[in-house]
A = this chain, B = another copy of it.
Amino acid sequence: MKIGLDIMGGDYAPKATVLGAIEACKVLSADHQLVLIGDKPTALALLEEQGFSADKFEFVHTTEVIGMGEHPTKAIVQKPDSSISVGFKMLKEGQIDTFSSAGNTGAMLVGSVFSVKSIPGVIRPAMASIVPKLKGGLGILLDVGANADCKPETLLQFGVLGSIYAELIYNIKTPRVALVNIGEEEEKGNMLALATYPLMKETELFNFVGNVEGRDIFSDHADVIVADGFTGNVILKMAESFYVITMKKGLRDEFFDRFNYEQYGGSPILGVNAPVVVGHGISNPEAIKNMVLLSRDMVESGLIEKIKQAFQ
């Protein structure tokens, strides 16, 4: 297996990414080859600084970098030798089996859809994130920002994508899927939720358990929480802010600790023809390591094939 990693992506790249690659390398098995995509001389210098053998990695040298604030579509087109553009080209051509980056999220989304493309039948790919559960364990929240406006059919598909992801990556059997809404009852909601509920209620594609309200995001009502990308993004960022607040205030608790994105590595882009993970912009080496491991798990679990089968 070849695991592609953008070493230029993220606020603390390339140092955090190269150090993360080293940490990942230490736990990957011998047949899992990390491919570092980015400025090779810089990577070599960082490895030497750390006293870690460069022989452990493959390198693909690139000369351009897509900045965090750049316009995704323009950047992908105008910077063909950027680490993200090259990564997706390699992923498309099968030179790597998975690609991850803590860089420009929009460019990762655009790159996915332009290069490896959506799985036939998938209306819109989604980005998923984890939410810790109060009683322990994790849930999946999607979409967290790839699609600001959604149709009912798109939300229905997010249920399928999230359900398969929860089952294969987090070993949750027959995941309970719920819809974010402003009431528990079927007749509550905005037009989107009202139109989505009956589709989910009738589907045999996943185990729908009804609506969840804002207060139930962290409770044990559901394993997979479906929202449009606007609402999901607000939920994710609010949850992140609570983690930051409790940390700053020194309020340590096992539950709040499980909000720590570093442990999860990043958000998968679900519904495209290859495993793609987007890391948090502020990723440190630990987060990068876990992004690489998530990337590996997505390959090993056969996630893409499972999603393809579901949409056949």
User: A226-253 vs B: 1/0 string, CB under 8 Å?
Assistant: 0011110111111111101110010101
A237 touches B251 (CB 8 A): no
14 further contact pairs, Cβ within 8 A, besides A246-B246, A246-B251? A182-B229, A182-B233, A189-B230, A213-B237, A214-B233, A214-B239, A217-B238, A218-B241, A234-B234, A238-B239, A242-B242, A245-B255, A249-B255, A251-B251
Chain A's interface: helix, strand, loop or mixed, by majority? Answer: helix
Name the residue of chain B whose CB is nearest to the CB of A244. Answer: B215
User: A144-156 vs B: 1/0 string, CB under 8 Å?
Assistant: 0100110000000
| Minimum distance in angstroms from A234 CB to a CB of chain B | 4
A190 touches B234 (CB 8 A): no
| Minimum distance in angstroms from A27 CB to a CB of chain B | 31
Which residues of chain B are within 8 angstroms of A218 by Cβ–Cβ distance? 241, 245
Known pairs A234-B235, A249-B253, A251-B253; A190 contacts B228 (CB<8 A): yes
Complex Cα gap A80–B254 (Å): 51
Tell me if A30 counts as interface (CB < 8 A to partner B).
no
B235 touches A189 (CB 8 A): no
A binding-site residues for B, Cβ under 8 Å: 134, 145, 148-149, 180, 182, 189-191, 193, 213-219, 228-231, 233-242, 244-246, 249, 251, 253, 255
For the complex of A and B, list the 6 residue pairs with the smallest distance between their C-beta atoms, beginning with the closest: A214-B237, A148-B190, A214-B234, A214-B238, A215-B241, A215-B237
13 examples of A-B residue contacts, CB within 8 angstroms: A149-B190, A182-B230, A182-B234, A190-B228, A213-B233, A214-B234, A214-B236, A214-B241, A218-B241, A218-B245, A230-B231, A234-B235, A246-B251
Complex Cα gap A27–B309 (Å): 68
Which residues of chain B are within 8 angstroms of A229 by Cβ–Cβ distance? 182, 190
Complex Cα gap A59–B143 (Å): 52
Question: CB within 8 A of A182: which of B148, B182, B253?
Answer: B148
| Minimum distance in angstroms from A130 CB to a CB of chain B | 16
Question: CB within 8 A of A134: which of B193, B216, B245, B253?
Answer: B245
Name the residue of chain B whose CB is nearest to the CB of A236. Answer: B214
Complex Cα gap A148–B189 (Å): 6
Interface core residue of A189, A234, A237, A249 (most chain B CB under 10 Å): A234
Complex Cα gap A251–B248 (Å): 13
Which residues of chain B are within 8 angstroms of A233 by Cβ–Cβ distance? 182, 213-214
Question: CB within 8 A of A214: which of B216, B219, B235?
Answer: B235
Which residues of chain B are within 8 angstroms of A238 by Cβ–Cβ distance? 214-215, 217, 235, 238-239
Which residues of chain B are within 8 angstroms of A251 by Cβ–Cβ distance? 246, 251, 253
